[in-house]
Amino acid sequence: MHAAGDDDEEGRVGLLHGIGGPADLKALPAARLPELAEEIRGFLVDEVSRTGGHLGPNLGVVELTIALHRVFDSPRDAIVFDTGHQSYVHKLLTGRHDFSALRKEGGLSGYPSRAESVHDVVENSHASTSLSWAHGIAAGRVVRGERDRHTVAVIGDGALTGGMAWEALNNIAAEDDLPLVLVVNDNERSYAPTRGGLADHLTTLRTTRGYERFLGWGKSTVSRAPVFGGAMYETLHGMKKGLKDIVAPQGMFEDLGLKYVGPVDGHDEQAVEVALRRARSYGGPVLVHVLTQKGRGYEHAVNDEGDQFHAVGVINPETGLPLEIAGRSWTDEFADTMVDIGREREDVVAITAAMMIPVGLQPFCTNYPERTFDVGIAEQHAMTMAAGLAFSGLHPVVAVYATFLNRAFDQLLMDCALHGAGVTIVLDRSGVTGPDGASHHGMWDMTITGVVPGLHLAAPRDGQQVSRAVREAVAIDDAPSVVRFPKGSVAEPIEAVRVEGGVDVLAEPDEGDVDVLLVGVGSMAATALTAAEKLAAEGHRVRVVDPVWALPVPDAVVTMARAASRVAVVEDNVVAGGIGSQVTAALREADVEVPVDTMGLPKRFLDHASRGQVLDAVGLTPDAVADRLRARLA
């Protein structure tokens, strides 16, 4: 082992350089830990400012992560990070020091990754799952007779607003002898400040003088809370005053039957160690409440009243300002449109799940705060609440990342669609998102929504079409409507001729029969258009269309297919069950006998890389599309 912290002629060797794993960390004298924490924060600011990534969350958990690895024996003891974007310190302490290609092709993932290390357990970066994972791991080890192995779940107060977390808590509380420690990393934020009844309750625990005596101690109780389903808890969480009045500040977790330790100063490493060691020795489930500060040690993050540098691009570490201005984004187009619609229609309201800033609803909230609802990390509740708002005579717009629609499918199907609710769902970050990897690619939404009866889905091809699509969506009052667009800067506007049936024609052959009807869905319209230009230069007659509203498949697409020798659909959704499949089914039902080529994302989880690199790897570039069609036309 390298002698961490030894002096030399030039001064002290960096402590982090000597940490190749938890054993090295445990060998470090406690007096040197503040120095190590400071070094880690400097490393994170320097490295993440070059690559982009989740800076604020990791700056806030430095001491907590050090304490976790000094008290527990990873990987024998499993440490599960909820969401996982706060795992950079964990990566450093388990020997992964090369952050030069963080979140880039071939580099470290921005989340835990089993392929990187045996210390990483859960790769899925969707929130509120860690307690269920930890319950399963701990219970499984007990069944196998491995009672001497501990399981630790680290969950933020933001993720604790999700109903799934409370389903897990309800079940964990019924287990008296599970070697399980639940660490609530309470920084009062998810992206932005945590809202709702739980947030109020944790604030009370932070400020109630009587609980100060429990710093690192706590007590056990035997009472049990009623069984809460996830959606039920999410609803209670939204009923701010009601939850606070029902439960006394000191009783919420203890009434569930959980031993409670805290609150503990999460930046006092020794205090955190004491709390964790007491929890570890208890022998049953214990909740440790740790208070941290998001962005700790970096003034630009701490002073940011928005998301406190939750996720950043490449920035100047001295100023905290971005080095490159990306230009206008798809989200910007949506944000401006919502403000305009809000001014024109008093019945339009907005809902988001703890992502007011990332999905572009902050300007709407600023202008119409009484018509804006942030329900916390509770997509299920958001969707069913939207159905209720629609029933009351309003038109709700639910804005979430495309990958998080997965979590609210049942509510979309049974609460919105079954009841003919006029609800608009806006899906940001659809398709290939790039550096966040498999769990954040928004590649499932068109397959999921494609099975929902009566649902309408639009995929704008450029920024100008975002505004048009959202306006058309909020005009639908008898069924769910979806508008989806990708991450990043908007594409250049593509001129088109809208024909009867609502389909936009982007390119027409000069004369003769159509060899290929090429359907470009959403942002892939530009790819389809460039591929068509390559084929046209070789003498092939290609008509390129944007279906505008891809679901249900427009009649005009079916009509145009009758006049073509073959049809090809290009989309940035998983090809299985995507728009290509929907077009194929529509043609079959209309007795149109024409071959269909479906070009989309393969049915597998795609690694982190830039959007361009991922699309190139799966054959969704203009050259690859042209090559595939050229082979069919030969």
**Active-site residue identified among 41, 91, 371, 407:** 407
**Residue 126 counted as an annotated binding residue:** yes
The Cα–Cα gap between 625 and 620 comes to 6
Token pair for residue 473? 């969506």
Written as six digits, the tokens of 421 are 């609710």
Rounded CA separation 120/322 (Å): 31
Short-list 73, 80, 112, CA closest to 185? 80
Active site residue 269: no
- Is the omega angle on the peptide bond into residue 29 within 30 degrees of 0, that is, cis? no
Gap between the Cα atoms of 203 and 249, Å rounded:
9
- Determine if residue 125 is labeled as part of a ligand binding site: yes
Q: Which residue out of 244, 259, 294, 541 is catalytically annotated?
A: 294
DSSP state of 55: -
Alpha helices in 347-422 (DSSP H): 362-367, 379-391, 409-410
Residue 475's DSSP bridge partners are none
Size of the chain in residues: 634
For the question of residue 241 being annotated catalytic, the response is no
Number of H helices, E strands in the chain: 24, 20
Largest CA distance in the chain: 85
Note whether 111 and 125 are within 8 A (CB): yes
- Which has the closest alpha carbon to 450: 598, 576, 615? 576
User: Of the residues 47, 63, 379, 571, which is catalytic?
Assistant: 379
Q: For tokens 């009601």, name the residue.
A: 242
Nearest to 554, CA basis, from 575, 577, 582, 513: 582
Q: How far apart are CA 567 and CA 547, in angstroms?
A: 13
| Contact partners, residue 277, CB within 8 Å, separation at least 6 | 71
Residue 91 is among the residues annotated as catalytic for this protein: no
Write b or e for each residue in 346-372: b if 16 or more Cβ atoms lie within 10 A of its Cβ, otherwise e. ebbbbbbbbbbbbbbbbbbbeebeebb
Q: Which two tokens stand for residue 150?
A: 């501990």
Residue given tokens 């700056």 in the structure block: 59
Before 317, cis peptide (omega within 30)?
Answer: no
- What span, in angstroms and rounded, lies between the C-alpha atoms of 218 and 182? 14
Query: Do the annotations mark residue 379 as ligand-binding?
Result: yes
Question: Is residue 298 annotated as involved in ligand binding?
Answer: yes
Flag whether 159 is marked binding. Answer: yes
- Return the amino acid letter for 342: G
Known catalytic residues are 294, 379, 407
Instruction: Please state the residue numbers annotated as binding site.
Output: 85, 125-127, 157-159, 187, 298, 379
Instruction: Please state the residue numbers annotated as binding site for thiamine diphosphate.
Output: 85, 125-127, 158-159, 187, 298, 379
Instruction: Please state the residue numbers annotated as binding site for Mg(2+).
Output: 157, 187
